[in-house]
Amino acid sequence: MRETIAFIGLGNMGGPMAANLVKAGFSVQGFDLAEAARQAATDNGIALCNTGAEAVEGAAIVITMLPAGSHVLSVWGELIEVARQGTLMIDCSTIDVESARKSHALAKAAGCLSVDAPVSGGTTGASAATLTFMVGGETDAVSLGRPVLEAMGRRVVHCGSAGAGQAAKICNNMILGITMAGVCEAFVLGEKLGLSHQALFDVASTSSGQCWAISTNCPVPGPVPTSPANRDYRPGFAAALMLKDMRLSQDAAKSTGVETALGAQATELYELFQELGHSDKDFSAIINYIREKSA
Ligand code: NAD
């Protein structure tokens, strides 16, 4: 048996990630507020605890996978009170850079090591242990966490100091949000010009328009059989999560004074889509909104 890990936040992502740690031979002590998550965790061999603090008892490493920065700061604030000196704190949630840096500072003040390690790859990657981790923190903390992250993912990229993982995640997802909007506009324009979906796909997926939004998550049914468009846009990556990440990018742009006109426009698009009640659809479903607006 390898060392003991405390895992807090056993939802859609955290649940399967913690299960993969168990499969890799770690002893995992878990905690979540939600009953459904608690039940699934027990079924996956995680030792369930009644509080986060109880889960941290005897753990060398603590992982959090929570909805937003406020949750991470409040949970870390509680956990570092009971974590022993030298414990490695890893946050895998997607949160704002400022909260990430504050959580690093909390850990440091308590004599703990820390990394921010948000992920890309979604629930499929979480289940298959193929996630990409974007990691921020001191080199010794990253080295200590690497074997644990490698048990849950395929790639671990050390992006820089505290908060750099979150910075990389936010920038990457702003690219994704913008490119998907552009790809959806291009497919609707192609339709109006009498171009078949397959013809546009065959050209764009092998030309300078090539990107993940076309080649993997193509927003029209047909060309990429595994894309959400083939199953009525069941996610995949839900529009609500895309909007969350776009808002994080816009908050970061505002606080750094960076002009992100395209990021702002794409954010507005996902906001409108959410207001129309489609936030549970894959984000590529915005093609339907663009098509309706173009009718
Ligand atoms: P989720 O809502 O399914 O899981 C979050 C869990 O945290 C819930 O089970 C909730 O009960 C628990 N929780 C909240 N507050 C808590 C507390 N104080 N103590 C203990 N447990 C608490 O969300 P998710 O889809 O697993 O996403 C988690 C994080 O991963 C988010 O930051 C999200 O942006 C990020 N993310 C999600 C995806 C995805 O495809 N779902 C992909 C990449 C990144």
Q: Would you place residue 277 in the very low, low, confident or very high pLDDT band (cuts 50, 70, 90)?
A: very high
pLDDT digits (tens, 9 = 90+) for 63-78: 999 999 999 999 999 9
Domain boundary among 161, 178, 211: 161
Q: In angstroms, how far apart are the furthest CA atoms of the chain?
A: 65
**Which residue of 8, 10, 12 sits with most ligand 1 atoms within 8 Å of its CB, as the best mutation to test the pocket?**
12
Which amino acids are annotated catalytic?
Answer: 169
- Strands (DSSP E) contained in the chain are 4-8, 27-31, 47-48, 61-64, 88-91, 113-116, 119-120, 131-136, 153-160
Alpha-carbon gap, residue 19 to 59, rounded angstroms: 16
pLDDT tens by residue, 232-260: 999 989 999 999 999 999 999 999 999 99
Q: Is the pLDDT of residue 273 over 80?
A: yes
Residues 34 and 100 in one domain: yes
Q: Decide whether any atom of ligand 1 lies within 6 Å of the 119 Cβ.
A: yes
Mean pLDDT computed over 118-145:
96
Q: Mutate which of 33, 38, 284 to test ligand 1's pocket (most atoms within 8 Å of Cβ)?
A: 33
Is the pLDDT higher at 122 or at 193? Answer: 193
For residues 172 and 213, state if they share a domain: yes
CA dist 165 and 31 (Å) reads: 24
- The Cα 247–Cα 95 span in angstroms is 11
Tell me: pLDDT of 1 over 70: no
pLDDT tens-digit profile of 140-176?
999 999 999 999 999 999 999 999 999 999 999 999 9
Q: How far is CA 227 from CA 79, 175, 230, 243, 284, in A?
A: 40, 19, 6, 19, 9
pLDDT confidence band for 124 (50 / 70 / 90) = confident
Please tell me the distance between residue 265's alpha carbon and the centre of ligand 1 in angstroms: 27
CATH of the domain at 111: 3.40.50.720
CATH number at residue 290: 1.10.1040.10
Q: How far is CA 256 from CA 120, 139, 174, 227, 230, in A?
A: 24, 26, 15, 35, 39
Gap from CA of 103 to ligand 1 centroid (Å): 17
Question: Quick check: 2 pLDDT over 90?
Answer: no
CB distance 100 to ligand 1 below 6 Å = no
Q: Are residues 113 and 10 in the same domain?
A: yes
Cβ proximity of 8 and 31 under 8 Å: yes
| 8 and 117 share one domain | yes
pLDDT(269) > 80: yes
What share of the chain has pLDDT > 70, as a percent?
Answer: 100
In SS3 terms, 65-132 reads as CCCCHHHHHHHHHHHCCCCCCCCEEEECCCCCHHHHHHHHHHHHHCCCEEEECCEECHHHHHHHCCEE
Q: Report which of 285, 260, 255, 262 is spatially closest to residue 272, judged by C-alpha positions.
A: 285
Separation between Cα atoms, residue 35 and residue 40, nearest integer Å: 9
Q: What is the tens place of the pLDDT at every residue in 102-118? A: 999 999 999 999 999 99
At 51 the pLDDT is: 98
Region 22-33 average pLDDT: 98
The phi and psi torsions of 163 (rounded to 5 degrees) equal: 95, -10
Q: 8 lies in which domain range? A: 4-161
Q: Tell whether 151 and 183 lie within a shared domain.
A: no
- Res 47 pLDDT > 70: yes
User: Quick one: 112 and 172 in the same domain?
Assistant: no
Omega cis (within 30) before 236: yes
Distance in angstroms (rounded) separating the CA atoms of residues 100 and 274: 27
Scanning the structure block, which residue is given the tokens 């546009």? 200
On whether both 156 and 171 belong to a single domain, the answer is no
237 lines ligand 1 (CB under 6 A): yes
Q: How confident is the model at residue 210 (pLDDT cuts 50, 70, 90)?
A: very high
Q: Is the CB of 93 under 6 A from ligand 1?
A: yes
Q: Please tell me the distance between residue 93's alpha carbon and the centre of ligand 1 in angstroms.
A: 7
**What is the pLDDT confidence band of residue 127, given thresholds at 50, 70 and 90?**
very high
Tell me the pLDDT band of 177, cut-offs 50, 70 and 90.
very high
* 173 closest CA partner among 254, 118, 226: 118
- Say whether both 21 and 86 belong to one domain: yes
- Clarify whether residues 12 and 156 are in a common domain: yes
Binding site membership of 71 for ligand 1 (Cβ less than 6 Å): yes
Q: Where does the pLDDT of residue 34 fall: very low under 50, low under 70, confident under 90, or very high at 90 and above?
A: very high
Q: Give the nearest ligand 1 atom to 68 CA.
A: 32
Residue nearest to atom 42 of ligand 1 (CA): 122
Q: What percent of the chain has a predicted confidence (pLDDT) above 90?
A: 97
- The answer on 133 and 251 residing in a single domain is no
The alpha carbon of 66 and the centre of ligand 1 are apart by a number of angstroms equal to 4
Specify the DSSP class assigned to residue 25.
T
- Considering its fold, how many domains does the chain have in total? 2
For ligand 1, mutation pick of 29, 32, 38, 97 (most atoms within 8 Å of CB): 32
Q: Please write the tens of the pLDDT for every residue from 187-199.
A: 999 999 999 999 9
70 touches 93 (CB < 8 A)? no
My answer on whether 38 and 105 are in the same domain is: yes
If you measure from the C-alpha of residue 159 to the centroid of ligand 1, how many angstroms do you get, rounded to a whole number? 23
Which of these three, 143, 161, 179, is where a domain ends?
161
Q: Is the pLDDT of residue 268 over 70?
A: yes
Closest listed residue to residue 229, CA positions, set 295, 281, 293: 281
Both 130 and 175 in a single domain? no
Last residue within a domain, chosen from 112, 130, 161: 161
Which pLDDT score, from 0 to 100, does residue 32 have?
Answer: 98
Question: Other C-beta atoms within 10 Å of 238: how many?
Answer: 22
